Copies of this chain bind each other. A is one copy, B any other.
Amino acid sequence: MTYLPPAAAYAHIKNYLKEGLSAGRWPPGTLMPSESELVTQFSVSRMTANRAVRELQAEGLVERVQGVGTFATQPYRASSTLTIRDLHDEITERGHRHRSEVHLARAEAVSETLAQRMGLPAGSEVFHTLIVHSENGVPLLCEDRYVNPARAPDYLSVDFTRTTPTNYLLTVAPLWEAQYSIEAQLPTAEEAQLLGVKPSEPCLIVVRRTESQGSPITLARLVHPGSRYTIEGSFKP
């Protein structure tokens, strides 16, 4: 979106509708102008009006029902774009030094519960890594990760002091889907020791499971010391 001749017509229409929504005309659930109304009101072709409304739909501001009309949405779903970044990039972008310590990297037989959580057949093998990431020498993340060998057969041969599992897995299987949970917990004794924090230090724990095209890729438990790490973000509707 670099080309903005004083203003594109579809953008005009989008603005008009957005401001109207913001101002409370068209309360949630009410009918909004139809495409043909916009066509006459703004003297544009239908494709242009359509694009404006379709983009609002993609942004979640309106709902459209074929044969019926366009409706303002209940905006409590204020969805946002949470950017999951690779910790390595985050650190180096701050101009700091990132280092990884690999404490474990091996193949294991899956336990029953793990097989279930990952969606793997019982009795199969998984790759298991335990890596501590630090920023300028300060431990920032303890990453306990299981990987589906079928999706990343060379995983164990990767040098994780040079790249991160996240980064590597993105090259092997881009375009994934993920479920995550974020919670506050005390670390396990081992995690506390690896991170160099007291066992009583609250930690921010992200559990993330990713899959691609229906088959699981990885399950990771990311433990951050609460005193050293926060997730930040912003969103616009």
Give A residues with C-beta under 8 Å from B.
Answer: 2-3, 18, 21-22, 24, 47, 55, 58, 61, 65-66, 75-86, 89, 166-167, 170, 173-186, 200, 202-205, 212-213, 224, 226-227, 229-237
Contact = CB atoms under 8 A, between A and B. Distances in A.
A230 B229 CA distance: 17
A198 B202 CA distance: 13
A24 B97 CA distance: 30
Which 9 A-B residue pairings sit nearest by Cβ, starting from the closest?
A202-B202, A184-B226, A82-B82, A184-B184, A184-B204, A183-B230, A182-B231, A184-B202, A179-B234
Given A2-B66, A81-B81, A180-B234, 9 more contacts: A2-B65, A21-B175, A78-B84, A78-B178, A84-B235, A184-B204, A185-B227, A202-B202, A204-B204
Copies in the complex: 2
A202 B227 CA distance: 11
A111 to B, nearest CB: 22
A177 B230 contact: no
Q: Per DSSP, are chain A's interface residues mostly helix, strand or loop, or mixed?
A: mixed
A75 B178 contact: no
A188 to B, nearest CB: 13
B180 A212 contact: no
B179 A182 contact: no
Nearest to A180: B233
A76 B166 contact: yes
Contact of A22 (B55, B175, B226): B175
Contacts of A24: 174
